[in-house]
Amino acid sequence: MSDAPTPPPFCGPALCAVIPANITGEGGFRPALVPLGGRPLLAWTLEAAMTCRSVREIVVVADHLELSLAAARLGRGRKPLRVLDVAQGLDTRQTLECALRGHDLRGTALALLSVATPFRNAQDVDLAAAYFGRELGRGAQSLVSLSNLLSAQELSSLRWVMREFPLPGLREARAAVSRKLYEFGGNPPSIQGLELAALHPAITLLTPAAQRQWAAMRDAAEPPAPLGYLLPEERALVLQCESDLRRAQAILGCADHTTVFAPPLTAAA
């Protein structure tokens, strides 16, 4: 029996989810079709997009035939799905631009969902979207997911984060949202509740205006002026190489490892 809290009623914007299945990790590691728990990583992200209440339509971006066929097969059913074939070698921002070219975005926000984060689930997307929707009225334009400081891979990914718990259930889920992210460097602002966290690729939410602004900022790794959603540690693993895959298998109990760094999950989580 799950001890996850009951999610609050969804009141966020409708989302168009873009899943960049073409993105590669370290040493050419391509996570989309890597099997975990009896299904490819692409299926984990598609399942989250298909079952969350905030996503209305899904675009899967692929760069070869095997990916395109897998996306069409795995995404069959519950929500409108478009599979887009693009050239190889595109980065995340270029992929997003291709996915949205000629797409009518009126009344829709964008959700960029990493295919390399299988344990991020539908509730995470819905909670982030509900918080984002609440903050749209205060001028928010984008939201990015965050992880525990210990998960940081690069110094450039660190940010000062001001945390709050604005939605029912967030405290019990060990997740948090932030009203503002501050650039890392120098001394932190003198604000109560400030702490250090790392940018995480699992979820990026954008208004169409923020997407256009980000597309014009060629040197920016993340969208401008984002809010933050802090993922619970057990759902923040990013699979970028074979060692990450072994850690994920250990979490699922699929391999005989003596040490795991997070509570076990089931494949259906």
Give the CATH number, domain containing residue 227. 3.90.550.10
Report how many domains make up the chain.
1
Q: How many CB atoms lie within 10 A of CB 269?
A: 17
Q: Give the range among 15-24, 147-156, 188-197, 216-225 with minimum mean pLDDT.
A: 147-156
Q: Is residue 48 part of a domain?
A: yes
Q: Is residue 262 part of a domain?
A: no
Q: Is residue 5 part of a domain?
A: no
Model confidence pLDDT, tens digit, residues 116-142: 999 999 989 998 898 888 888 888 888
Non-local CB neighbours of 223 within 8 Å, separated by 6+ positions:
141, 142, 144, 204, 206, 210, 211, 213, 214
Q: Is residue 175 part of a domain?
A: yes
Q: Is residue 9 part of a domain?
A: no
Q: Closest by alpha carbon to 34, among 24, 69, 93, 95?
A: 24
Helix axes 41-51, 65-74, angle to 10 degrees: 40
Q: Is residue 263 part of a domain?
A: no
Q: Is residue 54 part of a domain?
A: yes
pLDDT band at residue 109 under the 50/70/90 scheme: confident
Model confidence pLDDT, tens digit, residues 213-223: 877 777 777 77
Non-local CB neighbours of 27 within 8 Å, separated by 6+ positions:
241
Instruction: Provide the pLDDT for residue 213.
Output: 82
Model confidence pLDDT, tens digit, residues 224-238: 767 888 888 878 888
Span 152-173, mean pLDDT? Answer: 63
Can you give the residue range of the structural domain that contains 49? Answer: 15-252
> What's at 149, amino acid-wise?
L
Beta bridge partners of 83: 60
Q: Is residue 184 part of a domain?
A: yes
